[in-house]
Structure 1
């Protein structure tokens, strides 16, 4: 279990993390979300003792990271896939970590096999692709068979097979009762992986809730309907107390009712339907709505190109 209590980190006057309090529990995958600059990486670094908080504290199973003996057996982390000695082979990189934490040599081969790098175990890490480096970083995180695992953008650089593999790995680790804390900007991937979400913006906690509850609260679900008997359908929906809005293409979007209810209502009034499709809210939509006011870096649309048919005085050539 990871406990954050009033965790704060300031750089000068700027708060990178601002009074963050939450608990990352075992047995589930907890997703850590936030816009760029929200303080996710800083938070993870403070959990591992790489940055010191300005205020507040972090406890790992009740203790600070610097109080842990053989820390790789408590916490395994992947924060930077390229944070390794490029001149060492994959095997020797892991062996050094194992020897420094009292981990048996045999464990090195086990984790290399797990991440699919046994065939390149004797190759120098500096020649690895980013995806291979990610796998080596995950192997290092697994090396001590820890109860707590932290991954920062673990699918970066992985091919579809690798993404599917890491998704299932994180789920299986959580199913074993471990604490799994993962940060990612890929909403579609997080939607398939995380059970619980911690969302921050500008260093502050915005949400700490289950995936299902987060989407329900912050995104919109509706039933899309098209009918040649549009006015009759509108009257029937209004009578049933179902809120309806009009889409840009003329279709109707019904809120407050399920597709089955709308279909039965139309059938009862003898109304023909050309489309009846439930549209589920997405994690991406929910995330964008919640964090809209917390985005620090806004890209601007590209300026329109100058009119080549006009001279500098604005006259048409």
Structure 2
């Protein structure tokens, strides 16, 4: 188990981690979420004693990391996959880690096979792709057969097969009773991987609860109805004083509605329903709602012709419609070019 007790880290006048207290329990995959700059990487570095806390403490199985005589047998971590000497081969990188922690040499070949790097084991890491570097980092984390595994953005650079592989690997490790602590910005991947969530913003704890509870508490629940008899449906709902909101494609939504009650109401009035479905928020929607006030780095926007703002990097002609015109200077250059 990893335990944080009122952990704080300041860099000058910047507080990166602010009084964090939580536990990472064994046998489950705990997702570690937060906006950019929230303090996730700093927290992981504090766990591994790569940074010293300003105050508070963190323990691994009741001990400080520095008290672990062979730390790779307790906790394996992937924080920066490219933290490998570029002139060292994959095999030699794992070999020196094994020797430094009195890990049997046979584990080197086993881990290379596990992550699919056997064929490039004797190649220097400077030529590795991002995905290959990730696999080598995962092999390093698992080398000591640790009881605790900690991954920071483990799917970076992996192809779809690799993403499925690391997802199943983490689930298997948790099923074996190990502690799995993983940070990622990919909400869709975290939604199908994590059992429990720890969410931080601006260095402070925002949530520490199971995945389903997190989504339920931070999302809008509604029942969607679609019918070829919209006026009759609206009258029936009004008769029961049930508020309704317009939904997409001509549908209607009842916030916090009960599908059984709404279905019975429609049937009682002879109203045909083409859709009656409970709408559940995604992890991404729940996360954005919770962390809206904790985002430190906001992406800039490009103003629309109609005064709205488009996401930065969105092509103007594709999103602004046919009415969009390039600035005057560009129009003149294009007209001159056409004339020539």
* 1:303 CA drift (Å): 4.1
Aligned to 1:186: 186
SS in 1 for 2:292: helix
Aligned to 1:195: 195
Contact 1:3/1:58, CA 8 A, preserved across alignment = yes
**Unaligned runs of at least 5 residues, structure 2:** 305-325, 333-340
Aligned to 1:117: 117
SS in 1 for 2:198: strand
* d(CA) in 2 for partners of 1:8, 1:67: 20
* d(CA) in 1 for partners of 2:168, 2:133: 19
* 1:250 CA drift (Å): 3.8
* d(CA) in 2 for partners of 1:266, 1:187: 36
Q: Does 2:274 match 1:253? A: no
Deviation readout 1:155-200 (Å, 9 max, x if unpaired): 0000000000000000110111110000000000000000000000
Q: How many residues align?
A: 311
* d(CA) in 1 for partners of 2:242, 2:52: 53
Q: Does 2:313 match 1:292? A: no
Aligned to 1:224: 224
Instruction: Give the 5 Å matches for 1:273-312.
Output: 273-303=273-303, 306-307=327-328
* d(CA) in 2 for partners of 1:307, 1:283: 44
* 1:234 CA drift (Å): 2.4
Aligned to 1:87: 87
Aligned to 2:30: 30
Aligned to 1:165: 165
* 1:269 CA drift (Å): 1.4
Change (3 A) 1:142 1:246: same
* d(CA) in 2 for partners of 1:243, 1:76: 53
* d(CA) in 2 for partners of 1:310, 1:168: 54
* 1:240 CA drift (Å): 4.9
SS in 2 for 1:188: helix
Deviation readout 1:238-274 (Å, 9 max, x if unpaired): 4556442123644211222343442332122101223
Q: Does 2:90 match 1:59? A: no
Deviation readout 1:92-151 (Å, 9 max, x if unpaired): 100000000000001111111111111111111111100010000000000000000000
Change (3 A) 1:150 1:242: farther
TM-score by length of 2: 0.87
TM-score by length of 1: 0.94
Change (3 A) 1:8 1:168: same
Contact 1:242/1:256, CA 8 A, preserved across alignment = no
Structure 1 range deviating more: 275-284 or 236-245? 236-245
SS in 1 for 2:293: helix
Structure 1 range deviating more: 253-262 or 200-209? 253-262
Structure 1 range deviating more: 272-281 or 146-155? 272-281
* d(CA) in 1 for partners of 2:331, 2:283: 47
* d(CA) in 1 for partners of 2:106, 2:274: 63
Aligned to 2:320: none
Aligned to 2:310: none
* d(CA) in 1 for partners of 2:22, 2:240: 42
* d(CA) in 1 for partners of 2:7, 2:160: 36
* d(CA) in 2 for partners of 1:47, 1:189: 24
